[in-house]
Amino acid sequence: MHAIQSTAGLSKSKLYAELQQQLTGLLADERNWIANSANFAALIYHALPELNWAGFYLLLHEELVLGPFQGKVACVRIALGRGVCGTAAQRRETVVVEDVNAFPGHIACDAASRSEIVVPLITSSGRLLGVLDLDSPELKRFDHEDAVGLEALVRALLEGSDTD
The secondary element (H helix, E strand) that includes residue 157 is: helix 144-159
CA pair distance 21, 35, nearest whole angstrom = 18
Give the class (CATH, top level) of 12-159: alpha beta
In terms of pTM, does the model score above 0.85? yes
pLDDT at 9: 80
The mean pLDDT value for 56-84 works out to 96
pLDDT digits (tens, 9 = 90+) for 110-141: 788 999 999 999 999 999 999 999 999 999 99
Residue 81 carries which side chain, given as an amino acid letter?
Answer: G
Pairing status of strand 128-136 against strand 63-71: unpaired
SS3 24: helix
pLDDT digits (tens, 9 = 90+) for 49-60: 999 999 999 999
